[in-house]
Amino acid sequence: MGELLGVAVLGAGHMGADHIRRLDRVVSGARVVAVADPDRDRAEEAVGGIEGVLVNDDPLAALDAPGVRAVLIASPGPAHEEALLAAFDRGLPVLCEKPMVPESDGALRVVEAEARLGRRLAQIGFMRRYDAGYLELKSLLDGGRLGRPLMLHCTHRNVSSPPGFTSAMLVNSSVSHEIDAARWLLGQELTAVTVLRPASSSGAPEGLQDPQFVLFETERGALVDVEVFVNCGFGYQVRCEAVGEAGSARIGEEHGTVVTARGAASAPVPQDYLVRFAAAYDREVQSWVDATRRGRVTGPSAWDGYASSVAAEAGVRSLENGGRVGITLAARPALYAENGGDGAR
């Protein structure tokens, strides 16, 4: 199907390096042509031996490198707005890691800029929409098998948080995934959020409110609860149980081979998202490459990124000030009316 899609990757940290490897060795139809990171050594290391990649420490200059036809943004959240707007200025399609933009004002500026262009260019990296378990849950809910959805019970545990991870980031980085998954699974907007603060774990860094218990309300009366615990120490666990009027379904309990010996059964527990969601990231990036080469943009939209930022920001306000905080979205531009909520199609 024609020439390979030349991709510039901005940010060569954990996710950026993994996406560079994926574009180079896992997905078909694309090649990495430029990598930018202010930490040049990190970028060189992530590129490894891949031939013909221009390494740059100026992220925006990388967008103008020869052969760049699309951009994958894997820099920290606060850098996303500038990168997205620069990609839009150049008419380049983008896959942008979550959170699209942590603050809702900046997220809205991205939505407005894309709406002004009159065509979608951005797909947001909510990879759970490409996970086999989440897709099955979505199809059970959409097919009516569980009846009218009443509740989602979610668990989101990380072994440990990276340096610099703040209490707000449990909501606007970690729970941003549950916010998107809940909106997508239920096909409803979130209307209010309450964050409760259990006693912090002694395993959490000093001053970090970890775990947190987050409760969302939706426009048609469903409740979504999330236990988020990013220094649990024992494994990467992401679970979701949907409870409807006619049944329930739970995902995220899958294990590898179970070994039974000496009176006990044991199975491996993934230690991070790169393992737990490996297949989902592969599907997400392949789907982005395929759609981009056909001149299309699918998957979670800038509107989904914005809606997630608004809900997360309300959550951070509840975390910091206590109480229930309403979630109010701006008017949805017509651009997002039809396919703003679609997922791995």
Footprint of ligand NAI on this chain (CB under 6 A)?
A: 10-16, 36-39, 42, 59, 74-77, 79, 97-98, 125, 127, 173, 273
Single-letter amino acid code for the residue at 314: A
Q: How far apart are CA 166 and CA 343, in angstroms?
A: 29
Question: Is residue 167 within the footprint of ligand ISE (CB under 6 A)?
Answer: no
CB of 187 to ligand ISE, least distance (A): 23
Partner from ligand ISE, ligand NAI, none binding residue 158, C-beta < 5-8 Å depending on class: ligand ISE
CB of 233 to ligand NAI, least distance (A): 18
Complex with ligand NAI: residue 3 or 45, whichever CB lies closer: 45
Question: Is residue 209 within the footprint of ligand ISE (CB under 6 A)?
Answer: no
Contacts of 114 (CB under 8 A, 6+ apart): 88, 120, 121, 122, 302, 335
| Per-residue mark of binding to ligand ISE, 250-279 (x: CB under 6 A) | -----------------------x------
Q: How far apart are CA 148 and CA 141, in angstroms?
A: 8
Partner from ligand NAI, ligand ISE, none binding residue 14, C-beta < 5-8 Å depending on class: ligand NAI
Complex with ligand NAI: residue 87 or 335, whichever CB lies closer: 87
What single DSSP character describes residue 127?
G
Q: How far apart are CA 87 and CA 93, in angstroms?
A: 7
Torsion angle defined by CA atoms of residues 19, 22, 24 and 28, in that order, rounded to the nearest 10 degrees: -120
Which of these, 100, 150, 158, 143, lies nearest to 125 by C-alpha position?
100
Q: How far apart are the first and last CA of the chain?
A: 19
Question: Is residue 230 within the footprint of ligand ISE (CB under 6 A)?
Answer: yes
Complex with ligand NAI: residue 71 or 222, whichever CB lies closer: 71
Positions that interact with ligand ISE (CB under 6 A): 158, 173-174, 177, 230, 273
